Chain A
Amino acid sequence: MGLVSWIVRNLFSRPMTNRFPKTPPVPVPEGFRGKLQYDPEKCIGCQLCVRVCPTQTIKFLPEEKKIAFWVGRCVFCSQCVEVCPTGALQMSKNFLLASDDMHDERYMGGPARRRGMER
Chain B
Amino acid sequence: MSEEYRELGVSIPIGPFHPALKEPIGFRIWVEGEKIVKADIRFGHNYRGIELIGARRNWIQILYLAERICGICSWSHQFPLAQAIESLMDVRPPDRANYIRVVVGELERIHSHMLWLGVLGHEIGFDTLLHLTWGVREKVMDALELISGNRVNYAMATIGGVRRDITEAKRDILLRKLDDLLKGVETLRDIVLTHKLVLLRTEGVGRYDRELALRLCLQGPMARMCGIRKDVRQDEGVAAYGDLGFRAIVARDVVGKDGCDAYSATAVRVAETIQSINLVRDALMEMPPGPISAFPKPIVALTRASKAEGEAIGRYEAPRGEVIHYVRAAKSDKPKRWKVRAPSLINVYSTKWVFPGHQIADAVVIAAQPDPCIACTERALIVDLDRGERRVVDHAYLTELSRRKSKEVMGDV
Cβ B299 vs Cβ A33 within 8 A? no
Determine the chain B residues whose CB is within 8 A of the CB of A10 once the complex forms. Answer: 132, 135
CA distance A116 to B223 in the complex (A): 52
CB closest chain-B residue, reference A2: B191
Whether A7 contacts B128 in the complex (CB less than 8 A), given A1-B187, A51-B58, comes out as: yes
Judging by beta carbons under 8 Å apart, are B299 and A52 in contact? yes
Closest to B145 in A: A29
Interface string of B121-155 (1 = CB under 8 A from A): 00000001000101100100000011011100101
In Å, the complex CA distance between A30 and B164 comes to: 12
Chain A residues, Cβ within 8 Å of B61 = 52-54
Q: Take A29-B145, A54-B57 as given contacts and tell me if A75 and B64 are in contact as well, using a CB distance cutoff of 8 Å.
A: yes
Could you tell me if A51 and B191 are in contact, using CB atoms closer than 8 angstroms?
Answer: no
Cross-chain contact A79 with B138 (CB below 8 angstroms): no
For residue A32, which residues in chain B have a CB less than 8 angstroms away from its CB? Answer: 145, 149-150
Residues of chain B within 8 A of A79, CB atoms compared = 60, 64, 155, 298
User: Is B163 close to A, CB under 8 A?
Assistant: yes
Closest residue of chain A to B301 (Cβ to Cβ) is: A52
Q: Which of B60, B128, B195 contacts A54 (CB 8 A)?
A: B60
Contact mask A70-99 → B, CB, 8 Å, 1/0? 000001111100110000000000000000
B68 at the A interface (CB under 8 A)? yes
Contact B65 A33, beta carbon cutoff 8 Å = no
Q: Hey, which chain B residues are within 8 Å of A78, CB to CB?
A: 149, 155
- The secondary structure that dominates the A interface is loop
- Chain B residues whose C-beta falls within 8 Å of the C-beta of A53 in the assembled complex: 61
Residue of A with least CB distance to B66: A54
- Extra contacts besides A79-B64, A82-B163, A82-B298 (16): CB < 8 Å: A3-B128, A10-B135, A17-B138, A29-B146, A29-B149, A33-B150, A51-B299, A52-B58, A53-B61, A75-B64, A75-B68, A77-B64, A77-B155, A78-B155, A79-B60, A79-B298
B298 touches A31 (CB 8 A): no
With A6-B132, A31-B148, A33-B155 as contacts: A48 and B64 at CB distance below 8 Å: no
Chain B residues with CB under 8 Å of A16's CB are: 134-135, 138
14 contacts between A and B (CB under 8 A): A2-B187, A6-B187, A7-B132, A32-B145, A33-B149, A51-B60, A52-B298, A53-B61, A54-B64, A75-B64, A76-B153, A77-B153, A82-B298, A83-B299
Residues of chain A whose beta carbon lies under 8 Å from any beta carbon of chain B: 1-3, 6-7, 10, 16-17, 29-33, 48, 51-55, 75-79, 82-83
Contact flags B301-341 to A (C-beta < 8 A → 1, else 0): 01000000000000000000000000000000000000000
Give the chain B neighbours of A77 by CB distance below 8 A. Answer: 64, 153, 155
B257 within 8 A of A: no
- Given the known interface contacts A16-B138, A52-B302, the answer about A3 and B164 at a Cβ–Cβ threshold of 8 Å is no
Whether B297 is near chain A, meaning CB under 8 Å from some CB there, is yes
**Which A residues are CB-close (under 8 A) to B302?**
51-52
Residue of A nearest to B65 (CB): A54
* CB atoms of A31 and B68 under 8 A apart: no
